[in-house]
Every structure is written in C-alpha cells, then in structure tokens.
Amino acid sequence: MGPLEFVLILIVLVVIVIVARSIRVVQQARAYVIERLGAYATTWSVGLHFKIPFIERVAKVVSLKEQVADFPPQPVITKDNVTMQIDTVVYFEITDPKLYTYGIENPMTAIENLSATTLRNIIGDLELDQCLTSRDIINSKMRSILDVATDPWGIKVNRVELKNILPPKEIQSAMEKQMKAERERREAILKAEGEKRAAILSAEGEKESAILRADAKKQAAILEAEGHAEAILKVQQATAEGLKLLNEAAPTDAVVKIRALEAFAAAANGQATKIIIPSEIQGLAGLAEGLVESVKK
C-alpha cells in the first residue's frame, strides 16, 4: 500500500466518522436547538435528523417533561411584622425550547429569585393567621404571577406549592398553647352537651313513665266503673224481670203480704237491735195466726 492509498483510506474513514456523528436521533419528550454559524437555525423534534458538519451544531438539548424545582426556605415578613421561613416547590414545563435557550441566561436561578420576590410581596400584605390559613390563595397568586413572568422564557408554570411555613419558636409555642386551650374548650362543651342531653333523656323517660302509669290507673278506674255499672244494670234487669213475671202471675194480696213477711224476716236476721214493723206486716201476722188456729181445729 502506497502513501497515496493510505491517505485516501484515512480520508474516507474521517468522512464516515463525520457523517456518522452528524446523524442524530431525537428521543421522545426532548428537543434539540440547532445553530448554524452561530445563529439559531431550527428546533429538532422527535425523529432522525442530519446536521451539516462544521456549520451546524446542537446548541442545547431541552427536556419537555414537567419538572420540579424545590427551592430552599426564604425569610419573609408578614404584615404584622412576624418573620417566617417559607420554602416553595414549583412545577413547570418548557413550552418553547428557543425562548428557553435564548430568553434568559440561567432560567432556574431566575425562577428561584422570582418566586422568592413574589412570595415576599404576597406575604407582606397578609397577617400571620391569614398566611397559615390561606395557602391555596397564596399558591394561586404565585402561580399566576410566575406564569406570566416566565412566559417570555418559554416556560409554563403549572403549580406552586408552599412546602413548609415555619414561624418563630415563641410563636409556635403560643400557637400550641392556644390550640390546646381550644381543644380543652371544645372538650368541655361536648361534655356539657352530653350531660345536658342525658338529663333531657332522663326527664323525658320519667315523664313518659308517669304518663303511662296515669294512663294505666285511668284505664283501671274506667274498667272498674264499667264493671260496677254493668253489675247494677244486671241487678236492675233481674229486678225488672222479676216484677214483670210477678205482674204476669197476678198474685193475691195474701201472697204479696206473705212475700213481704219473708223479706222482713230476712232483714231481721241481721245485727239490728230495734225493728219497726209496718202496719201491713202486723196485719199479715194476725192473718197468719188465724190460719194456724184454723188448721189446728
């Protein structure tokens, strides 16, 4: 092999290497920013691409996935002059690789500083209690402000979350005492309401029991009165039936007087010490003696 052939082979190998290195495959969720002679030329998306050797170059490889930036705690002062430490988490994605590459020198540092400044402005208009209870409002305001500010950089801010809010230790201690007192107050209220409810239920039970006992006595008295009334009615009916039968039999005066004498004998069989005999009964007694004497004769 002569020197000329060696040079030709070497040139061919160099060309093959250059061509091979000029062929690029762009993966999913990535974008390549291409410069031609130092100026922006195009943006490669997913697929197979070829760049002109020595003229074009890959200026930046950009990830199009949603990214998370967790920034360290930032000191902020509330409206009532309380200094707190708040750290934020920003969720963002790159929507324009060209703007992301040429819009700002260091996008992540810019987002961090912008989020810290925005957080101080928002917290400065709120008091401590509002800061602790208005996280959603703060998150929404920060997301809106950051999204508008980062739009010229080709960045879209999807969410902003306050990760931690750390007030001074003395305020934390006071808040814990306040929370403890509030829990004790709620416990006392619940206990009092329970006792009140128990007393009400007990009183209602006693009331219902008394009503039931009164109803039972009332029903017993009614039944007893109805029994007496029915008994009297039966006696009156029997008496009326007896009188009816007696009237139908048409007894003589002698029979009536004898029956009266029998009734008087039954009445005299009691404990009475004095008996007043009606005149009719006396006449009946004389009649009875006359009957006895006639029988003896």
Same domain, 182 and 224: yes
Same domain, 71 and 160: yes
Under the banding of pLDDT at 50, 70 and 90, the label for residue 295 is very low
Domain termination residue (choose one: 110, 145, 167):
167
pTM of the full predicted structure? 0.56
Same domain, 161 and 71: yes
Residue 268 has pLDDT above 60, yes or no: no
Same domain, 235 and 270: no
**Residue 98 and residue 253: Cα distance in Å, rounded?**
145
Same domain, 231 and 292: no
**pLDDT confidence of residue 33:** 94
Under the banding of pLDDT at 50, 70 and 90, the label for residue 181 is confident
Same domain, 53 and 71: no
Residue 282 has pLDDT above 60, yes or no: no
Same domain, 82 and 143: yes
Same domain, 259 and 185: no
Could you tell me which residue, 8 or 245, shows the higher pLDDT? 8
The predicted-structure confidence for 44-59, as pLDDT tens digits, reads as follows 999 899 888 888 899 9
**pLDDT confidence of residue 275:** 54
Cβ atoms 41, 102 nearer than 8 A:
no
Structural domains counted in the chain: 4
Same domain, 74 and 146: yes
Name the least confident of 170-174, 184-188, 207-211, 291-295: 291-295
What is the length of the chain? 297
Same domain, 115 and 179: no
Parent domain of 97: 67-167
- Give the mean model confidence (pLDDT) for residues 159-178: 80
Domain termination residue (choose one: 145, 167, 189):
167
- SS3 readout for the chain: CCHHHHHHHHHHHHHHHHHHHHEEEECCCEEEEEEECCEEEEEECCEEEECCCCCEEEEEEEECCCEEEECCCEEEECCCCCEEEEEEEEEEEECCHHHHHHCCCCHHHHHHHHHHHHHHHHHCCCCHHHHHHCHHHHHHHHHHHHHHHHHHHCEEEEEEEEEEEECCHHHHHHHHHHHHHHHHHHHHHHHHHHHHHHHHHHHHHHHHHHHHHHHHHHHHHHHHHHHHHHHHHHHHHHHHHHHHHHHHHCCCHHHHHHHHHHHHHHHHCCCCCCCCCCHHHHHHHHHHHHHHHHHHC
**pLDDT confidence of residue 296:** 46
Under the banding of pLDDT at 50, 70 and 90, the label for residue 22 is confident
Same domain, 150 and 82: yes
Domain termination residue (choose one: 45, 63, 81):
63
**pLDDT confidence of residue 41:** 92
CATH number at residue 93: 3.30.479.30
Same domain, 259 and 231: no
